Structure 1
Amino acid sequence: MPIIDLQALTEQTIDFKWLDGEVIHVPQPSARFVNKVDRAENTISKAQELVLEFLQTNKEKREFTKGEIENLNSAQLTAILMAVLGFAQEVDSHPN
């Protein structure tokens, strides 16, 4: 039976090129956060709140403001949240 390396899974990131060109590395979301995104009401304000919470965990320790997130368009917000959900589905499909 193969060994599942939980440490390697912890170190994986979702990377985003921010509007200013900086690449942001955000650690894999917790199962609790993915569930929160999956069950969230479908409103722009809720999407902004979740995106802000997620991006604040970035490895660069960059602090995002509510204003920065409010300036994102709906496609950008959706792309970030879909990356969170897609990453969780990828890990579920390929546990190694």
Structure 2
Amino acid sequence: KNNRIPKEIDRIIMKCLASKIEDRYRRPAEIIKDISRFRGRDSVKSEIDDIFSRIRAREKKPKRDFCWNCRRPLPYKAQVCPRCGEKIDD
């Protein structure tokens, strides 16, 4: 640990690097929110809300036409990629 780094920033970084996936941030918006809170910019709600809305628009689940792992086309309603064997989440 580096004593020159504020504890809140250290907490944010350690949460990003957590060994258990469920302990990490789930969305970029959560990291932005915590960093903004640290910087004291909670009063700039309209800017943050705009960022959140843009992030939400990008996070909408795309139609699964391609395997996320090998990027090959998927058959209709595939549960497993026929090329790499990766499970397809819907």
The structure, 1 or 2, with the larger RCO (C-alpha pairs under 8 Å, 6+ apart) is 1
Indicate the TM-score class for this superposition, using the shorter chain for normalisation: 0.3 to 0.5
> What TM-score does the superposition give when structure 2 sets the normalisation length?
0.34
> What TM-score does the superposition give when structure 1 sets the normalisation length?
0.32
Higher share in strand: 1
